[in-house]
Structure 1
């Protein structure tokens, strides 16, 4: 798959993004919402694999307001105080509201690149909540929303994604790390209840034995068997929801 570097004009500036096109006409578009370590070869590889399934995949830099930054080593960044501090500042400084606002421009990018069809979103780590919030904000544009090891999906915060359950029209899939302090069992139960009450077609699946970050190859907790299971679930989910 060929990667095309594009710039997306948002209300706050220009976000760099990678666009990965399938070999033939894309059957749908997909936005990959990054984890905290930013766009990098590991995410490019994931986007390429998803493009190989027939989707046009957009990987925007959610931290573009603070560019340049990093790069960060996903295996060690949170273990070193200096890089941990820099990462936490980037995450805290890029609010859910900012990403929700940016997502309108991300969605528009497909049309400007000549890509038609339904759109799905998938997010990892901090991207999980952003993917669900985008789906709840643009229900007529996003048909499928997936989160893997997403944190704070049903927290007490005002911008917690579970609060948008009633607005969702997308099908939802949530893959949960077996042990994840950022998404404890009580949040999982709260999210499930919100989606059930709102009559959202959803699946919440617990990946026992893997930790937060298990899907991404350069992460310290990467788990190959768990990652392959995630790929199987994601491609089946997108196949059913996006055609």
Structure 2
């Protein structure tokens, strides 16, 4: 399977990125935002698996201003004991990744996809994990004419009190949505609030709690990984893509 690394020009510099895609083409495109640990081998493997199903998959390094991927010095397997020290390093970068920067970068990433000869013209899907789910939602609401599907798995803070909370942008959304939640990812009140926002926008969506899972259940390089939850995520994701990127 072809894979490439790329440097994508942005208003702030050059974002390094990884892409996987099948032979031939052109193929429908998927922009895949990583979790807070950033792009790394497990994400690149997931991109290859998705490309095996017929998609051109771009995994950008959203922390490119810090250093190229892999951004953090991560252990081969991330345990619960590793997390406090790691998040001491990671959280300042997460907090510096403002909504304004997200949208500038998203425009660059979508522009890159549109320029690739292996990418089929037309709508794309945007998916994300953990903080990446927030980036995916912001990208989808900012580009309603371009993004046909958005999926977020064990998402970060989609519902907050902030004026620019992702759920407050949903009136602009036209994409089909799937949210795959671990059991404690969102409160019942937050689920109700975001569901009401989807209903008001008139978009098709599913918001599902994956039983027995904890935050991070798709990531095979962490203690949070749950094989059943990961399999369910692939089933839901491929069904969403198959129904929207035809």
TM (norm. structure 1) is 0.94
> CA 1:158 to 1:219, structure 2 compared with 1: closer, same or farther past 3 Å?
farther
Alignment of 1:22 with 2:26, yes or no, is no
- 8 Å Cα contact 2:80/2:223 also seen in 1: no
Other-structure match for 2:220: 217
* Shift in CA distance, 3/232, structure 1 to aligned 2, threshold 3 Å: same
CA RMSD of aligned residues (A): 1.5
Secondary structure of 1:127 counterpart: helix
Any gaps of 5 or more consecutive residues in structure 1? none
Match of 2:47 in 1: 47
Alpha-carbon deviation of 1:25? 1.1
Pick the aligned partner of 1:89 from 78, 88, 92: 92
Q: Which runs of 4+ in 1 moved over 3 A?
A: 76-82
Task: Answer yes or no: is 1:138 the counterpart of 2:138.
Answer: no
1:13 and 2:17 equivalent?
A: no
Match of 1:71 in 2: 73
Structure 2 spans left out of the alignment, 5+ residues:
none
Cα distance in 1 for partners of 2:81, 2:242 equals 35
* Residues 30 and 122, structure 1, Cα contact 8 Å, conserved in 2: yes
Q: Aligned with 2:6: secondary structure?
A: strand
Equivalent residue, structure 1, for 2:203: 200
- Equivalent residue pairs, number: 241
- Distance (whole Å) between structure 1 residues aligned to residue 80 and residue 89 of structure 2: 9
- Residues 203-230 of structure 1, C-alpha deviations (whole Å, 9 max, x = no match): 1111121010001111221001110111
8 Å Cα contact 1:121/1:144 also seen in 2: yes
CA offsets, 1:13-57, max 9 Å, x none?
Answer: 000000111133143100000100011110001000110111000
Question: Which of 100, 106, 109 pairs up with 1:106?
Answer: 109
Q: Distance in 2 between matches of 1:98 and 1:184?
A: 28
Partner Cα separation in structure 2 for residue 173 and residue 53 of structure 1? 18
The separation in 2 between residues aligned to 1:42 and 1:239, in whole angstroms, is: 23
